[in-house]
Amino acid sequence: ESLLRLLPEEVAGYISPYKRRNCSMEKYPEKSPKKPRVIEERTVLVIQDGNCTAIRKRPSKGLLAGLYELPNTEGYLSREEALDYVKDLGTEPLYIEELPDAKHIFSHIEWRMKAYLIRVSSLEQTHAPGILFADKKESERNYAIPSAFGAYAKYMKEEIQ
């Protein structure tokens, strides 16, 4: 029946790995417990002038490598901090609206996102490196925005009043 019965524990001080781990063969190998998912708070900014939305390319390594994203930052920004962020890009904010919260779950990370839609006078004034201007009509065809930003990417296509 069992290999354990054929090998006595007394032979050369042998102790079966099953007995050492205090488990039976039916339970072996044991799965290690899943690591808890890391929760990250992020603020996503949908920055637009009348025609374009600001996007940027993600780093070539790491999570969502090489794809495009809406500008975002770790942690939750207040309305005032979001406006300061946009001013630091060299743009003049005209309007800000808080968007619904969203979350996206990766296998090991959970993003809990807060977002603002910010209308600016002109994106062409920005001096921020890496910021691109995605035209509403061409954005879906030319730029791969990950589904992690799906709750906010839809605002790229909407007409701004």
Residue 130 pLDDT > 90: no
**pTM here?**
0.73
Query: Which pLDDT does position 125 carry in this prediction?
Result: 74
Band (6; pLDDT cuts 50, 70, 90): low
Contacts of residue 26, Cβ cutoff 8 Å, sequence gap at least 6: none
Contact present, 60 and 68 (Cβ < 8 Å): no
